[in-house]
Chains A and B, each alone.
Chain A
Amino acid sequence: MSGASRRKGIALAATGAVVLSLGLAACGGDDEGSEDGKITLTVATFNEFGYEDLLEEYMDLNPDIKVVQKKLGTWEEHRDNLYTKLAAGSGLSDIEAIEGDGMPAILEEADAFTDLSDSEVDGRWLDWKQAAGTSADGKLIGYGTDIGPEGICYRADLFEKAGLPTDRAEVAPLFADWDTYFATGQEFIKKLPDTAWYDSSKGTSQAMINQLEFPFETADNEVVATTNPEVKEVFDTVTSMQAAGLATNLDQWSNDWVAAFQNDGFATMACPGWMLGIIEGNAAGVTGWDIADAFPGGGGNWGGSFLTVPAQSEHPDEAKALANWLTAPEQQIKAFEAKNTFPSQVEALSDPALLEATNAFFNDAPTGEILSNRAQAVTVQPYKGPKYADIIAAFQAAILRVDEGQETPDEAWDSFTADVERIG
């Protein structure tokens, strides 16, 4: 039987090779042809951009253009697809949406994208938003869509039980700075020990990191994550508040985190505009949510995206025109009305349709006005270099290890240091 087993060995090796190589080879492209003289443009987005009706409208305005939207569930999936096709050199859509935290890495590959600079759009966005879409050599790679100005969302009903004020004007001073916010939290958990003060260490630390000017990298993209005292301070604060019992110890976005909305798991959370819809979805049936026009340490921005036109596009001019139209203030207001994506365009911030918007789930809070105020309170935008996304993932994993009780804060910081070295 030795002959037979050798053959089997070879067959095995062959099978292994096929199975393995399929994984690396699996990437494909899809071509959009033009039918009856029409140009077909594809727009790839993730999560909810609120573009469905707008794209219909654009096709009505431009009868010779057909727009097809490709939606993916999350930025991570979208990014994996984007990188694979960037690497392959084909298969990308004419317009690709990019999440704010992913933009620095994209700017590194600016050559793979069309320069969208245009005198018509210059100054359309908040300064820091436009800067975040501009490459080092001054090319405008991304047109800003939305931003994520943060307020604090809170459970007024739980506040009442804990003897805290419930009215959003009276609550706001409690969220004026981080010390007061955490001190209030310590009062709160004394009264309601089964409920945490905030939703996750991840969300809170992200909010604090977003207020640092150069958290992980210098302007020259030198990685300083582990030597920056401000980062260490955020780490120490968040882990000590965890020790004090303010955190849920849950991983943000996990099933348990989602379930905590239904179980009075926590009373407050950092709340960018796009989070309102997520809270409403997770907390369906829970009454008492409200949003305060305040954020510890002034303002903070979390998230917000861009539209880019890959150099691969066969119709870069038409794609640019569409991206221009979609990110114009009038259209972004409509996207806000559809999916709460808060506009990044200066003109849109004073639009009555925005300012008059209220949200029934959040106790009829004037969310448009509150978020507009929050956007104007944003004074610092963190500099995000190409390694930003990888480093913050390692940072949050370190904090989660403390939450989970796997490591002491000191151990977690050491392993974070090792992780950053590994990222390079």
Chain B
Amino acid sequence: MSSHPPTAPAGEVPSSTSPAGPARSEEPLPQATTPVPPGLTWRQRLSRIDVRFSPYLYISPFFLLFLVIGMFPLIYTGYVSVHEWSLIGGKGEFVGLDNYRAVFEDRYFWRALRNTVSIFLLSSVPQVILALIIAGLLDTQLRARTFWRMSILVPFVVAPAAVTLIFGNLFGDRYGLINSAIGVIGIDPVAWHVDTLASHIAIASMVNWRWTGYNALILLAAMQAVPRDLYESAALDGAGKVRQFRSITIPMIRPTVIFVIITSTIGGLQIFTEARLFDNVGLGGSDRQWQTVTLYLWELGWRLRNLGMASAVAWLLFLFIVMFALVNLLLSRRIGGGGKS
């Protein structure tokens, strides 16, 4: 059986279901009884054009807006990146790809890339898996369901800066709550702000705390749309809860899972606030242990006031995210579908 979701892919609206534009309904439809003749009247042509092109007109505001607030800055950033450009002084000489070269030669860029990938993996992977499990649990007959469902969204409404404050007390190297707690059971304190992996785990946990519930709610909404009779027949066939979850729930909500994976990829590769506020200096640690690419971009642009190089990083990050998102898309299309579709 095909694992296609019941909904039609967006944008592929069959034209037979949308004949009634307002201009058309006022027409007397004189030739309604006869088959369409080869020579069309201009009104007919108009209505054909209407049917064919109006949808694009209706969605155009987004793309026009995108052109202004998305495409223009993107291209302008590219323009800045091939110039010497000081934050305050503005545009300098055209330097070609020198800014890109300088970025590639900067050891902190590679470190930032490493940190970004590491924090991304530590955050997005557990985040999506946890969100799936939580959503699966919430999709059952619980008492006070709405309460539980809303509770998981609470972390999301807390400002990231506040989250960082709270976690700052948890992840103190010497007087932090976590180290005090594990000290009781005889584990050595973890140097959260010194050790690279420990700092990544600390930052990833802030990110996960904030986003897991949000993703769980999105997945839950998709799960609610799965026809219940599928579960009933599966249960009759002897499938347990776990098997049902794997063989029915996940394949049925695949487009949503892909959406969640892609958005958390984009978000995970752009982690900034949590890393920025993890210490008071804001450069990602004494040895750039947790400096992410966005933080690196910010350092170049706003600390060293070199917007040219910062823009080059912005473009590289953009390409990097597109690449990652595509890889993830390819990988996640295999979820539950065995790669057949």
Contact = CB atoms under 8 A, between A and B. Distances in A.
B87 A251 contact: no
Interface string A97-122: 00000000100010010000000000
Interface in A231-260: 250-251, 253-256, 259-260
A61 interface: no
B175 A404 contact: no
A14 B70 contact: yes
Contacts of A285: none
Contacts of B325: 12, 16
Contact of A76 (B73, B168, B282, B326): B282
B270 interface: yes
Interface string A318-345: 0000000000000000000000000000
B168 A255 contact: yes
Interface in B163-181: 168-169, 172-176
Contacts of A84: 87, 302
A24 B286 contact: no
B333 to A, nearest CB: 7
Contacts of B175: 255-256, 259-260, 263
A397 B73 contact: no
A86 B341 CA distance: 53
B148 interface: no
A12 B329 contact: yes
B294 interface: yes
Interface in A7-40: 7-9, 12-25
Contact of B286 (A5, A20, A80, A404): A404
A406 B287 contact: yes
Interface residues of B, number: 54
B334 to A, nearest CB: 12
Contact of A259 (B9, B174, B317, B341): B174
B12 to A, nearest CB: 8
Contacts of B341: 1
Interface in A373-408: 390, 393, 397-398, 400-401, 404-407
Contact of B77 (A7, A8, A21): A21
B232 interface: no
B287 A407 contact: yes
A188 B76 CA distance: 60
Interface residues of A, number: 52
Nearest to A106: B88
Contacts of B173: 250, 256
B99 to A, nearest CB: 13
B171 to A, nearest CB: 8
A87 interface: yes
A416 to B, nearest CB: 11
B305 interface: yes
A406 B286 contact: yes
A255 B286 contact: no
Contacts of A112: 88
A397 B69 contact: no
Nearest to A407: B287
A259 B172 contact: yes
B20 interface: no
Most buried by A among B175, B302, B325: B175
B121 to A, nearest CB: 19
A397 B174 contact: no
A13 B176 contact: no
A160 B195 CA distance: 37
B27 interface: no
B287 A253 contact: no
A12 B193 contact: no
A105 to B, nearest CB: 8
Nearest to A400: B286
Given A84-B302, A259-B175, A254 B279 contact: yes
B46 interface: no
Contacts of B168: 255
Nearest to B194: A404
B67 to A, nearest CB: 10
B112 interface: no
Nearest to B319: A16
A17 B88 contact: no
A401 B287 CA distance: 7
Nearest to A85: B88
Contacts of B287: 397, 401, 406-407, 415
A224 to B, nearest CB: 19
A112 B266 CA distance: 38
Given A14-B66, A83-B305, A255-B172, A19 B279 contact: no
B191 interface: yes
A285 to B, nearest CB: 15
A401 B175 CA distance: 19
A397 B289 CA distance: 12
A10 to B, nearest CB: 10
17 contacts: A7-B11, A8-B329, A9-B329, A14-B70, A16-B318, A20-B74, A20-B317, A21-B77, A23-B272, A24-B77, A84-B87, A250-B174, A251-B281, A253-B280, A393-B283, A398-B286, A406-B194
Interface of B: 9, 11, 66, 69-71, 73-74, 77, 87-90, 106-108, 168-169, 172-176, 191, 193-194, 262, 266, 270, 272, 279-283, 286-287, 294, 302-305, 307, 311, 314, 317-318, 321-322, 325-326, 329, 333, 341
Given A16-B266, A251-B281, A404-B191, 7 more contacts: A9-B326, A24-B77, A24-B314, A83-B87, A259-B174, A260-B175, A404-B286
